[in-house]
Structure 1
Amino acid sequence: MINMAKKTVSKDQKKKEVSSSKDEQVGFHKGSLSTLSKERAELGRILQIIEQLMQMHVAALNELGVDLTKEVEQMKTETKMQNKKKPIEDVL
């Protein structure tokens, strides 16, 4: 007959386990927020670079005599035509 001793765990030990688990979770979430914050800042920097490049191309097209306002109006009308598609409920 094998007699296994019951492991007795005091209330203090249980609280320590819960608090360390809570501390781990807090650390995990803080680390995640830090990483995501840095990623968001990098994304903003990339968007600024893209905006600058687009402005450079717009300026170059203006110098070449291309009227972008006509093209923008044409794109708006094309977009309106495409937006008149059936609602997703009808498609399903």
Structure 2
Amino acid sequence: MSTAKKDDSQAAERVGFHKGSLATLSKEREELLRILQIVEQLMQMHVKELKGLGVDLVEQAKKLKGKKPIEDLLSKEKGK
């Protein structure tokens, strides 16, 4: 096989690989967006229920402002 044909074949193979990768990643992104929409709906349902129960989420957020994130607190516990 000549070098030119071999280069063309390799280039076509690489193009196919990247096109296939993009198609797969596009489908993965669509699925991720679908999952995020479901999570957002569930969060909104919980917010609505908490408001209905008289919980002031704005006040709760103000109290937590300035406190360390829970991830920091958990990592300290692991270190003990």
TM-score under structure 1 length normalisation: 0.69
1:56 maps to 2:56: no
Question: Once the 2 structures are TM-superposed, how far is the Cα of residue 58 of structure 1 from its aligned partner?
Answer: 0.3
Equivalence for 2:18 = 29
Q: Structure 1: any 5+ residue segments left out of the alignment?
A: 1-8, 81-92
2:30 to 9, 31, 41: 41
In the comparison of the two structures, how many residue pairs are matched?
69
Which amino acid in structure 1 is aligned with residue 23 of structure 2? S
1:75 maps to 2:61: no
Q: Which whole-Å CA distance do the structure 2 matches of 1:33 and 1:44 have between them?
A: 16
What stretches of structure 1 move > 3 A for 4+ residues in a row? none
What RMSD over aligned residues (CA atoms) do the two structures have, in Å?
Answer: 1.5
User: Where is the helix percentage greater, Structure 1 or Structure 2?
Assistant: 2
For residues 6-63 of structure 1, give each alpha carbon's deviation from its aligned partner in whole angstroms, at most 9, with x where no partner exists. Answer: xxx6xxx211111000000000001001101111111111101000000000000011
Q: Which whole-Å CA distance do the structure 1 matches of 2:65 and 2:22 have between them?
A: 38
Question: Once the 2 structures are TM-superposed, how far is the Cα of residue 73 of structure 1 from its aligned partner?
Answer: 1.2
In our comparison, the structure showing a higher alpha carbon Rg is 1
TM-score under structure 2 length normalisation: 0.79
Question: Once the 2 structures are TM-superposed, how far is the Cα of residue 76 of structure 1 from its aligned partner?
Answer: 2.2
